[in-house]
């Protein structure tokens, strides 16, 4: 598996309130990937997204619960810490963050969890499939048939988020299982990407099949070319299929060595 991530302030903003990371859990044979998009003025957003990511990394391996239980617990812990930090420092009051996490497991089912409008996309057989739906006002209006996707794209209420970590006392986390297939690619991103590029544009960049490092750079450049009005973060996991070449090559070399051996024996017998 190959993983690459990158974040960029964009062309308009002066600070980057997004954060991302991935954590390998050797003990559980799993990897947790996460993207958070901080909300709130001053330095609040930056602090909230950082607390979310750091807490996840620290908590995900803890506890004896099943994987979705550990994931839920780690997110709840992050939420409590953000609330606690905001209570301690008035400058941080009202801070919060979105969060999307992908728990990739070698054995058994994998899981996606999210709160807010950061997204997870799956790329499989040339298709793009969003695996999360935004917890935002505009997305809800689209689901209820009150706005068309085209209207939603231009709606001024674009950044009204209905769920986030650290905003209200209670938190509603959405979590679902995933079945992975070799060759899948998974992209976690903030709305600085999907708010500026349509799904099909994202699909074409990812489907080009470049290495993950290059793909995330190209996605960020495309968002900046489309205006770069927000911080943009992309984290891509590539479940590369094992290449058949090394095995073929090994087979070929073995055959050559076998023939050479036969030839040498013949020369020796002559
Ligand atoms: Ca954003």
What separation in Å is there between the alpha carbon of 232 and the centre of ligand 1? 7
Q: In DSSP terms, which residues pair with 121 in a beta bridge? A: 130, 187
Phi, psi at residue 249, to the nearest 5°?
-65, -40
Query: Is residue 118 within 8 Å of residue 110, measured between CB atoms?
Result: no
Q: In DSSP terms, which residues pair with 178 in a beta bridge? A: 110
What does pTM read for this prediction? Answer: 0.88
In tens digits, the chain (270 residues) has pLDDT values of 999 999 999 999 999 999 999 999 888 899 999 999 999 877 899 999 999 999 999 999 998 899 999 999 999 999 999 999 999 999 999 999 999 999 999 989 999 999 999 999 999 999 999 999 999 999 999 999 999 988 988 899 988 999 999 999 999 999 999 999 999 999 999 999 999 999 999 999 999 989 999 999 999 999 999 999 999 999 999 998 655 554 445 455 555 555 555 555 665 555
What separation in Å is there between the alpha carbon of 191 and the centre of ligand 1? 5
What separation in Å is there between the alpha carbon of 16 and the centre of ligand 1? 9
What separation in Å is there between the alpha carbon of 37 and the centre of ligand 1? 6
What separation in Å is there between the alpha carbon of 80 and the centre of ligand 1? 22
**Which helix (DSSP H) or strand (DSSP E) does residue 223 occupy?**
helix 212-225
What separation in Å is there between the alpha carbon of 197 and the centre of ligand 1? 13
What separation in Å is there between the alpha carbon of 208 and the centre of ligand 1? 26
What separation in Å is there between the alpha carbon of 267 and the centre of ligand 1? 74
What separation in Å is there between the alpha carbon of 231 and the centre of ligand 1? 6
Q: How far apart are the first and last CA of the chain?
A: 53
Provide Rg for the chain, Cα atoms.
Answer: 23
């Amino acid at each position: 598996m190959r993983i690459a991530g990158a974040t960029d302030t964009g062309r308009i903003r002066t600070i980057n309130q997004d954060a991302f990371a991935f954590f390998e859990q050797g003990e559980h044979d799993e990897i947790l990937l996460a993207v958070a998009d901080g909300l709130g003025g001053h330095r609040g957003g930056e602090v909230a997204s950082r607390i979310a990511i750091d807490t996840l990394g620290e908590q995900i391996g803890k506890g004896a619960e099943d994987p979705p239980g550990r994931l839920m617990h780690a997110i709840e812990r992050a939420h409590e810490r953000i609330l606690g930090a905001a209570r301690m420092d008035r400058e941080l009051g009202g801070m919060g963050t979105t969060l999307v996490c992908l728990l990739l497991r070698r054995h058994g089912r994998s899981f996606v969890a999210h709160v807010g409008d950061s997204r997870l996309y799956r790329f499989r057989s040339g298709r793009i499939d969003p695996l999360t739906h935004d917890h935002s006002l505009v997305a809800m209006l689209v689901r209820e048939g009150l706005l068309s996707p085209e209207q939603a794209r231009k709606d001024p209420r674009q950044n009204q988020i209905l769920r986030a970590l650290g905003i209200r006392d209670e938190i509603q986390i959405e979590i679902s299982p995933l079945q992975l297939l070799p060759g899948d690619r998974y992209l976690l991103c903030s709305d600085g990407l999907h708010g500026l590029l349509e799904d099909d544009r994202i699909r074409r960049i990812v489907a080009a099949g470049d290495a993950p490092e290059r793909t995330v750079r190209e996605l960020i450049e495309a968002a900046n070319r489309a205006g770069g009005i927000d911080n943009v973060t992309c984290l891509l996991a590539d479940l590369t299929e094992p290449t058949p070449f090394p095995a073929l090559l090994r087979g070929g070399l073995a055959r050559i060595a076998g023939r050479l051996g036969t030839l040498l024996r013949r020369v020796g017998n002559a």
